[in-house]
Amino acid sequence: MIRVSEPNIGIQEFINVNLALASRWLTVGGKYVNELERAISSYCSASYTVAISSGTAALHLALLALGIGPGDEVIVPSLSFVAVASMTILTGAKPVVVDINSDNWLIDPRQVRNFLSPRTRAIIVVDLYGTVCNVDRIRQVAPGIPIIVDACESFGARRDSIGDIMCLSFQSTKIVTTGEGGACVTNSKRLAESIRFLKDHAMTAERKYYHTQVGFNYRLTNIQAAIGVAQLQKLRKFISKKSQISRWYRRGLRGLDIGFQEGHKLGSQWMFPILVHNRDDLMAFLLNEGIESRSMFYPIHLQPPYSGLGKPSNCPVAEYLSSKGLYLPSGTSLSYWEVSKVCKTIKDWFTGNRSLLKVKGG
């Protein structure tokens, strides 16, 4: 089976985990959490990094650190993992779901402008599948509104801005993994201190077990961080391999009626998504040939808990891409032979489906 993605684990990860175990610092304490935070700050040219238990928790803390709460609105893209909406709701605020661009599949600045209101307190932009959002363009249409960059799928990509807070994920399919984990990256000392305070039950440093507000257990363990430190040392290598896989696919699928995500050159190409008619049929065909694939995210505004947040007509691009989109095996352990097999299998499927129409929007 050619899997969509598998963690790329080497000897250094095993060494670091054994050292963490030998130190007896398994959760809080130990050296690896601080070491990971420093390494991320250095890589991102940022002032502060706070390691978190997941990318979802990072989004939650970012919103709370910005003071988002009941009565507020947060603009989010419809085609995204659902955490951008669910974490907004957990703060008591309302996610305002907007459509995406048809070329790069990222939040549409025109839609952001259209849905700004006096209650807009933040905007979450998502680097979908590794393609980097133009934060400066969003700032132009929404000056003074804090921006959270959901970079859970684009860690390591070149970017002009990390927004007010950038959120990372180290879940097992991500470019760098700690199994589960994440981080908040910012240049604001105030925001970093707030996130660090809230992630550890909002417990004061002066008085142990004294809590001045409601907090959370969103800490990253020392063992997870030990894996992350080793992974981070290979980040440039991983990004290079992801770019190579993207080139292999684009070359191998050339000439087929397939739509591709554009604007990925600054990104880190977390997954390789394509658009195709009869998407589910292709996925079944691939699976029968021992190739795993995944459908794109289901639009947030059409999912039951969030269906009242926006009308279907508001997000036609997200709906179209979601119905036609899937992503192919993209793990950094993939060989050229495996990518070639995926491309050949897709070509074989097209051979039996010559009546397919040209895909639009890719």
Give percent above pLDDT 70 in the chain: 95
Q: Which distant-in-sequence residues (6+ apart) come within 8 Å of 62 by Cβ?
A: 148, 165, 167, 184, 191, 195
Average pLDDT score, the chain:
93
Domains of the chain, residue spans = 11-98+106-232, 235-351
Q: Which pLDDT score is estimated for 277? A: 94
Answer whether residue 360 shows pLDDT above 50.
no
Average pLDDT over residues 268-277: 93
Is the pLDDT at 354 greater than 70? The verdict is no
Q: Tokens in use for 316? A: 């036609």
Residue 29 confidence (pLDDT) above 90: no
* Confidence bin at 357 (pLDDT 50/70/90): very low
Comparing CA positions, the residue from 294, 246, 252, 293 lying closest to residue 267 is: 246
The band of 311, judged by pLDDT with boundaries at 50, 70 and 90, is low
Q: How many CB atoms lie within 10 A of CB 256?
A: 15
Strands 165-169 and 48-52: unpaired
Please tell me the total number of residues recorded for the chain in this structure: 362
In terms of DSSP bridges, do strands 294-295 and 94-98 run parallel, antiparallel, or are they unpaired? Answer: unpaired
In DSSP terms, 112 is beta-bridged to none
Backbone φ, ψ for residue 184 (5° rounding): -110, 130
Over residues 287-293, mean pLDDT: 98
CA distance 155 to 112: 24
Cα 264 to Cα 271: distance, rounded to the nearest angstrom: 11
Q: Select the highest-mean-pLDDT range: 16-30, 95-109, 264-278, 311-325.
A: 95-109
Residue 232 has pLDDT above 50, yes or no: yes
Residue 88 in this model has a pLDDT that exceeds 60 = yes
Q: In what order do the strands lie in the sheet with 294-295?
A: 259-260, 272-275, 325-328, 294-295
Q: What is the pLDDT of residue 265?
A: 61
Q: What is the H or E stretch that residue 95 is in?
A: strand 94-98
Residue 22 reports pLDDT greater than 80: yes
Among 27-31, 93-97, 170-174, 216-220, the minimum mean pLDDT is found in 27-31
Domain 235-351: state its class.
alpha beta
Residue 348 has pLDDT above 80, yes or no: yes
pLDDT score for 362: 43
Nearest to 165 by CA among 138, 142, 188: 188
Two domains, one topology: 11-98+106-232 and 235-351? no
Cα distance between residue 220 and residue 183, in whole Å: 9
- Asked whether 121 and 66 are in contact (CB, 8 A), the reply is yes
For residue 307, what pLDDT is reported? 79
What would the pLDDT profile of 198-216 be if each residue is shown by its tens digit?
999 988 887 888 888 899 9
Nearest to 341 by CA among 359, 328, 355: 328
Q: Which residue has the tokens 């929007």?
A: 361
Percent of the chain with pLDDT over 90: 86
**Do 270 and 153 form a contact (C-beta atoms < 8 A)?**
yes
What pLDDT is stored for residue 266 in this prediction?
Answer: 60
Mean pLDDT for 85-91 is: 97
Report phi then psi at 217, rounded to 5: -95, 85
CATH number of 11-98+106-232: 3.40.640.10
* pLDDT computed for residue 359 by the predictor: 47
pLDDT digits 0-9 by tens, 111-168: 999 999 999 999 999 999 999 999 999 999 999 999 999 999 999 998 989 999 999 9
104 touches 85 (CB < 8 A): no
Q: What is the CA radius of gyration of the chain?
A: 21
Helix (H) or strand (E) holding 288: helix 279-288
Q: Residue 195 contacts by C-beta under 8 Å, 6 or more apart in sequence? A: 50, 52, 61, 62, 65, 165, 184, 186
pLDDT at 269: 84
